[in-house]
Structure 1
Amino acid sequence: MARKDSEGYDSYPKDAYDDPPQGPVGVHRGARSWGVRLTPFVIVVIAAVAAGVLFWGIFSGEAASLLRGRVSSSSSSSAQVAQTTTAAGDGASSASSGESPASSSGSASPSESASPSESASPSESSQAPTPEESQQVNKAAAISVVNGTAQDGYASTEAQKLVADGYPNATPMNPGDMALPGQTVVWYQNDADLATAQAVADTLGIAAVEQAPGIGAPIVVVLMQ
């Protein structure tokens, strides 16, 4: 006899599972709103923008510029505070010593107030003239032309030659008690008169030029036979 398989859903007794609650339950979810669905995308976009700004700031130098600006501002603030503290300390020390800041700053020591030129030693100021000074011809120098010969008017003639050559202070003289040399010579008193003595000798055709301190004039021309 064949088994009867015609039993259907209605042939079983009803239980709690035959009356499920309305709506989806368990793993089934209802439809989500647009705000909930777009939130992950908004978060990703914000993170991408922040990463791009950070990347741009590092590689464009803007971040370093901002950092340097903050460091320099803090350094200037520290310097101003240090200057204020120093000024306050100086004022306090001046007040405690009974002196004003102006008087204490204005009183310099003699060694500081003296300039190098003023503190030069007398030996440096009385040094011999340089070669450049001794090579300068001074045509305004006083020149004595002494006639050591028996020829009258010889000194006047030679003095006129010097005046014509631009030496207005050439004066003829008699030897008097002067010790005469053995030859015609041009004497000069100082090293600075050497160039002038040499020029005078060239004008008068005299070969001997010698230094003779204490001759009484910068240049002395002694005319001999």
Structure 2
Amino acid sequence: MARDKVTYESYEQDVFDNPPAGPVGAHRGSRPVITRIAPFIIVIVVAALLGAGAWAVSSGEYANLLNLKSSQSSSTTSTTTKSKKKSTSKSTKSDSSSTADSTDSSSSDSSTSTDSSNTSTESSDSSTSDQSAQQSEQTATVNKATQVRVVNGTGVSGYAGQKADVLQTAGYTSVEAANPTGSLPSATVVWYQNESDKATAQDVANTLGISTVQQVQGLAAPITVVLMN
């Protein structure tokens, strides 16, 4: 009997005929380098961390780190406290400044009021001074129409007439020469009777070069010149 021809399709398919995607089992390919060395790297890092931790504990560095953190915390708290104190101090200074400004404003108002009073007083004084000056000017006015009597007490004939001519040349319009009657002074003098004639009497004395001017009551003329030398 002839045998049937055996082919691949003659066998029933199993798992080996339809393998999963990618190599499996003995057919797996080689893994990447990073995958193979990753466990060693992890072991080295963990060992280094453990060693560093053990060294920090044994050498006291861990305690120093804790103290440093505590110092930083204290510094932060101190800075916050100082900031609050500065803020409070600034607020107090601001209040003091406001109070000082109010005081300065009150002082300024008071000073302004005082200045106004002083200005009013000065104005009043100035007005009084102006009135006094006007009165003085009226008193000091030289009136060359005032009657002037020139008395010759020297015994020199015509001497009184000469001085009368000098006064007339100076602008005096009412001048007369006369002989003495009654008692005479010891030196040449210009007499005037009224205070309003004082300036005129002084001008007469200056014109004639006489240094003595006196106020005398009961004169025959408002101004009398007595020549004694």
TM-score w.r.t. the length of structure 2 is: 0.41
Indicate the structure (1 or 2) with the bigger Cα radius of gyration.
2
Higher helix share: 2
